[in-house]
Amino acid sequence: MKKGNYLFTSESVSEGHPDKVCDRVSDAIVDAFLGHDPYARVAVETLSTTNRIVLAGEVRSTPETVKSVSDQMEDIARRAIREIGYEQAGFHWKTLDFHNYVHEQSADIAMGVDAAGNKDEGAGDQGIMFGFACDETPELMPAPIQYSHNILKSLAEARHSGAEPRLLPDAKSQVTLRYQNGKPVAATSVVVSTQHSGEIDQDEVREIVRPHVLNVLPDGWMCPEEDFYVNPTGRFVIGGPDGDAGLTGRKIIVDTYGGAAPHGGGAFSGKDPTKVDRSAAYAARYLAKNVVAAGLAQRCTIQLSYAIGISKPLSVYVMCDGTNEVDQDKLSGVLQELMNLSPRGIREHLGLSKAIYARTSAYGHFGRAPEADGGFSWERTDLVPELKRAFGA
């Protein structure tokens, strides 16, 4: 998005959305492995449908860890679903059927990725990854996706706390903002669809949702009443995996920038940090956020590219859409001096070999507050002083 007058829309989905149920289960299994072995390799996919969960994928760790976590996978999945809140006839954490097809990692992949002799740890796959930051919100995120996430987080907190027991886990939001001269100034429409108990009607759901939207949007930004859509189909009682099948990794735009920035195409959830789909996307966000936080640009997009088995990135591209206060080529060089962008360097710099991933599985991987135990470490702005020194800012 550049300067000008236009409308821009982003959507989010709740932790109870079928795809997000799968992301949560997959990331809970990643956490289980990393909690036992910080060097474990994990790539686990989850399928959900009516009262059924299916796991598939590959893992590598010590024999003791593989056996221990494999024995726990069913309990891990059921616990994740219980924490989301599914206790419905068509999808219940206690009664659903569970199937596990996870196996050990391919030796060919392991050979290419492992460090050996003078060879550093290589990337887990080829691919391109993007990071982005802008000054539209305090979180340095695009406003439409940030507000979409925040609306659903607010509804989920009310549901989990018991303040609004008539809400159920599955929900979606969509926010359209009007931009003037490239800056967001108001919402032109808001869409919220939330699963609810059968005892309330559409008008009641609308009034439950309304304060959550008003509290999230800046004062005076609420859309016209006729453009405030809540459960526009009229009823949303059957939801979650009972209503639609879910798969890990199908909400990559929700997970990142809501379409306001490029995406390399790789999903995050279910993957350990040797997979650059995940770790390099986190690194690119970290660098872009620090550039904007340092006042060196109002917008910053960073692309990294890798080849499987090769540790050094093939390219590092920085673009600031003309908002930069410093030379972009020099900026690219300084960023590479400040952070080793090999898979090992990223993992060590951001402390990614920890059990910190289940919490990322809903409401966005970016725009979150860094946590004391290392969660969301890529949201830190600790490079700001060094960036300012490098450019005399």
The residue annotated as part of the active site, out of 19, 136, 255, 272, is 19
**What are the beta bridge partners of residue 172?**
13, 193
Residue 172 falls in the annotated catalytic set: yes
Residue 130 falls in the annotated catalytic set: no
119 labelled binding-site residue? no
Residue 19 falls in the annotated catalytic set: yes
Residue 8 falls in the annotated catalytic set: no
Instruction: With residue 22 as reference, give the H or E element that holds it.
Output: helix 18-36
267 labelled binding-site residue? yes
171 labelled binding-site residue? yes
235 labelled binding-site residue? yes
Which contacts of 233-237 are long-range, i.e. CB under 8 A and separated by 24 or more positions?
Answer: 233/193, 234/202, 235/202, 236/170, 236/193, 236/194, 236/195, 236/196, 236/205, 237/168, 237/195, 237/196, 237/197, 237/198
Tokens of 87: 């206790």
Residue 45 falls in the annotated catalytic set: yes
Indicate the residue type of 193: S
How many angstroms from the chain centroid is the CA of residue 318?
Answer: 22
172 labelled binding-site residue? yes
Residue 369 falls in the annotated catalytic set: no
Residue 20 falls in the annotated catalytic set: yes
Q: Which of 210, 203, 246, 179 is nearest to 25 (CA)?
A: 246
Residue 349 falls in the annotated catalytic set: no
The residue annotated as part of the active site, out of 78, 172, 347, 349, is 172
The residue annotated as part of the active site, out of 17, 285, 349, 365, is 17
328 labelled binding-site residue? no
The residue annotated as part of the active site, out of 15, 121, 272, 277, is 277
Task: Yes or no: say if 133 and 141 are a contact pair by the CB < 8 Å rule.
Answer: yes
Residue 104 falls in the annotated catalytic set: no
Angle at 41 between CA 44 and CA 111, to 5 degrees: 120
Task: Yes or no: say if 285 and 299 are a contact pair by the CB < 8 Å rule.
Answer: no
The residue annotated as part of the active site, out of 8, 15, 20, 33, is 20
Q: What whole-number distance in Å separates Cα of residue 72 and Cα of residue 32? A: 9
The residue annotated as part of the active site, out of 271, 285, 299, 365, is 271
Residue 275 falls in the annotated catalytic set: yes
393 labelled binding-site residue? no
The residue annotated as part of the active site, out of 60, 159, 196, 251, is 251
80 labelled binding-site residue? no
**What are the beta bridge partners of residue 101?**
56
Residue 376 falls in the annotated catalytic set: no
Task: Yes or no: say if 43 and 33 are a contact pair by the CB < 8 Å rule.
Answer: no
Tokens of 144: 């439409």
Q: Which of 182, 388, 367 is nearest to 296 (CA)?
A: 388
Residue 245 falls in the annotated catalytic set: yes
268 labelled binding-site residue? no
The residue annotated as part of the active site, out of 275, 289, 299, 359, is 275
Tokens of 91: 């999808």
The residue annotated as part of the active site, out of 56, 245, 354, 388, is 245
The residue annotated as part of the active site, out of 36, 52, 56, 58, is 58
The residue annotated as part of the active site, out of 15, 31, 37, 45, is 45
The residue annotated as part of the active site, out of 74, 164, 244, 325, is 244
Neighbours of 366 (CB within 10 A): 28
369 labelled binding-site residue? no
Residues of the binding site for K(+): 45
Residues of the binding site for Mg(2+): 19
Residues of the binding site for ATP: 17, 170-172, 235-236, 244, 250-251, 267, 271
Annotated catalytic residues are 17, 19-20, 45, 58, 172, 236, 244-245, 250-251, 271, 275, 277
Residues of the binding site for L-methionine: 58, 105, 244, 275
Residues of the binding site: 17, 19, 45, 58, 105, 170-172, 235-236, 244, 250-251, 267, 271, 275
